C-alpha cells in the first residue's frame, strides 16, 4: 500500500481524509491518488496527524525531505 492509500485508510475514507486535512472535498484527495503524489505543503500535516505512521517520504518522492527536516532544526 502506498502512502496516499495508507492516508485514506488511516482517516477512514476519501471524505474523512479531506476533512481531517482541511482540503475541502474528497476529490482533492482523489486527485492525489490519481497522480500518486501528495503536494508537499500537505505532507508534513499528514505526518503530524498520523503521529509519524505515514511519513512525508511515502507521500511525495520529489522533495528531498532530509534537507527540509534539517532546515527546520537549524538555529535562527
The CATH code of the domain that includes 60 is 1.10.260.40
pLDDT confidence of residue 69: 84
Per residue in 12-70, pLDDT tens? 999 999 999 999 999 999 999 999 999 999 999 999 999 999 999 999 999 999 898 88
* pLDDT exceeds 80 at position 75: no
Copy the grid coordinates of residue 34.
490519481
Which pLDDT belongs to residue 76?
A: 53
Compute and round to an integer the Cα radius of gyration of the chain. Answer: 12
The candidate with the shortest Cα–Cα distance to 60, out of 37, 41, 42, is 37
CA–CA separation, 25 and 16 (whole Å): 9
- Rounded to the nearest 5 percent, the helix, strand and coil shares of the chain are 65, 0, 35
Q: Domain count of the chain?
A: 1
pLDDT for the residue 68: 87
What is the extent of the structural domain holding 7? Answer: 3-73
In this prediction, residue 72 carries a pLDDT of 67
Amino acid at each position: 500500500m502506498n502512502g496516499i492509500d495508507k492516508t485514506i485508510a488511516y482517516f477512514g475514507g476519501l471524505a474523512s481524509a479531506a476533512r481531517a486535512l482541511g482540503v475541502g472535498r474528497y476529490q482533492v484527495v482523489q486527485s492525489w491518488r490519481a497522480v500518486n503524489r501528495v503536494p508537499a505543503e500537505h505532507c508534513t500535516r499528514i505526518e503530524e496527524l498520523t503521529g509519524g505512521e505515514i511519513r512525508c517520504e511515502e507521500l511525495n518522492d520529489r522533495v528531498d525531505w532530509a534537507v527540509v527536516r534539517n532546515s527546520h532544526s537549524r538555529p535562527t
